[in-house]
Amino acid sequence: MTGNTNIRILVVDDSSAIRRIIISALKELGFRNVLEAGDGAQALEVLQSHTIQLILSDYKMPRMSGMELLEKVRASEEHRNIPFIMVTAEAQKEAVVEAVQKGVNGYIVKPFKSDALGRKILQVLG
C-alpha cells in the first residue's frame, strides 16, 4: 500500500475478535503502528498518552459509544483534527447522517475487505 504506513492508528471496538481482525487487515495493508482500546473511555486514555494520527472506531460499545468518543474527540482542542473512521455493522442511514453531522471523516460497514479499508484510509488521510 502506498502512503504513510508509519502513522499510529487507534482501533476501538468492544469485541477483541473484531479488533484482531481490523489489526490484521491493517498489518496486511502495511500499517504496523497500531494501538487498541475496548471502548470509548479506554480510547480517551490512550489519546492522553500517545500521539494518534487516525482513529478507527466501532459505533455501538458499552461505557462509551463510538459516537460519544467522536463527540469528545471533536470537542478536544488537542485531538479535534484526528481523522476518525467509523468501522461498524451499523449501516442505518440515520446513524451515518448523525456521524457525518458530528464530524466523522469516513464510514465503513462490517464485514469489509482489507482493500476497502485501505481505500477508505487513503481517502481520509488524503
For 68-79, the pLDDT digits (tens) are 999 999 999 999
Using one digit for the tens of pLDDT, what is the confidence trace for 83-105?
999 988 867 778 888 888 999 99
List phi, psi (to 5°) of 84: -135, 120
Give pLDDT, residue 6. Answer: 82
Please provide the DSSP assignment of 35-74 as one string: EEESSHHHHHHHHHHS--SEEEE-S--SSS-HHHHHHHHH
Give pLDDT, residue 41. Answer: 96
Contacts of 63 (CB under 8 A, 6+ apart): 39, 40, 41
Give pLDDT, residue 110. Answer: 86
Give pLDDT, residue 82. Answer: 98
- The closest of 10, 9, 109 to 59, measured between CA atoms, is 109
Number of Cβ within 10 Å of residue 124's Cβ equals 17
Give pLDDT, residue 3. Answer: 56
- The closest of 46, 101, 63, 75 to 86, measured between CA atoms, is 101
Using one digit for the tens of pLDDT, what is the confidence trace for 4-42?
668 999 999 999 999 999 999 999 999 999 999 999 999
Residue 60 CA to residue 109 CA, distance in Å, equals: 13
State the average pLDDT over residues 38-53. Answer: 97
Residue 117 CA to residue 105 CA, distance in Å, equals: 13
> Where exactly are the structural domains of the chain?
9-125
CATH number of 9-125: 3.40.50.2300
Distance of CA 5 to the CA centre of its chain: 15
Query: 1-5, 62-66, 118-122: lowest mean pLDDT where?
Result: 1-5
